[in-house]
Amino acid sequence: MDSTELATALADPIQLLGLSFYFTPTTTERAKAHGLNVFEFYGLGRGGVLGDVDYDTVFEAFTFFSPSAMDMLWTKSRTKADPVEMAHQHLHAAYAFADETFGAVAIDVLEGFAGAARKVANAVPPGHHALLDGYKKFSVPTSPVHAAYLGAILMRELRGCVHIDAVHEVGITAAQAAYLQDPFIFKLHGYGDDDVPATTDELVAKKQRAEELTTEGVAAFYDVLDEAERQALYDGAMAMSEALKAPVPANA
């Protein structure tokens, strides 16, 4: 498959893979160990890859959350724990989830996916995709299971960063984009009934164009891969996605 076909095929699987550890029991317990609830842990853990930065920096990087949600996820949570340390702890929670889940995926499949994902991430110029840059600072784990899951997180953040650019390019707001993506996610991101946008044909068309631009942008980054590497990225994403339905511990 070519890069555009790959970017289209992986859009939903990569999105689900990268976020699947956020609110698991294991992650929740790790949050409690640091005096946080799982949402605070998410805010500090994901945002903390940027460093101990100000609210505006994190708000821009997250983009699709309401100001009130980001105030809770970052400003208030930051008074309870160090964001940089929580970024490390959050990634360890991700690896714990991977250990609980991907034991049935062949090692060569995991290694192929991890290598291809890292190659894509490393080819993205630094300085514009903040969350991707943040996660790229973490070294590649020696465990194939961990390396593959970090690769999934990297690919999710890549698409998210590209989507932010696309939404800005078509001229719709973050709230409009979030609502058209999913009304449930819209509310989860801190928006209320008063924030619900009027859904017009023009708005829907702009959101669709943003999705097309996102796929085009991600595909351009996938162009760094050769045919075998594109297949490896696809095979790994599909195998890990299937594993979400029937998790097998890595040490089983």
The CA R_g of the chain, rounded to the nearest whole Å, is 18
Place of tokens 């390396």: 147
pLDDT tens readout for residues 82-132: 999 999 999 999 999 999 999 999 999 999 999 999 999 999 999 999 999
| Tokens describing residue 200 | 């017009």
Distances, alpha carbon 135 to alpha carbons 1, 26, 51, 203, in Å: 27, 21, 11, 32
Q: Which residues pair with 248 in a beta bridge?
A: 102
Q: What is the mean pLDDT of the chain?
A: 97
223 secondary structure, DSSP code: T
Model confidence at 20, in pLDDT bands (50, 70, 90)?
very high
| Cα–Cα dist 89/174, whole Å | 29
Q: Which among 201, 207, 150, 161 is positioned nearest to 17, based on CA atoms?
A: 150
Tell me how crowded residue 218 is: count the other CB atoms within 10 A of its CB: 25
pLDDT tens readout for residues 39-68: 999 999 999 999 999 999 999 999 999 999
For residue 16, pLDDT over 70 is answered with yes
pLDDT at residue 146, as a whole number = 98
pLDDT tens readout for residues 23-42: 999 999 999 999 999 999 99
* Crossing angle of helices 25-33 and 38-47, rounded to 10°: 80
| Cα–Cα dist 252/235, whole Å | 22
pLDDT tens readout for residues 236-249: 999 999 999 999 99
Q: How many helices (H) and strands (E) does the chain have?
A: 13, 0
Region of 85 (left: φ > 0; alpha: ψ -120 to 50; beta: rest) is alpha
| Tokens describing residue 101 | 């889940």
Are 41 and 86 in contact, with CB atoms under 8 Å apart? yes
Q: Which among 185, 115, 181 is positioned nearest to 154, based on CA atoms?
A: 115
pLDDT at residue 156, as a whole number = 98
Average pLDDT over residues 154-161: 98
| Cα–Cα dist 248/104, whole Å | 6
| Cα–Cα dist 144/252, whole Å | 15
Model confidence at 251, in pLDDT bands (50, 70, 90)?
confident
For residue 252, pLDDT over 80 is answered with no
Model confidence at 71, in pLDDT bands (50, 70, 90)?
very high
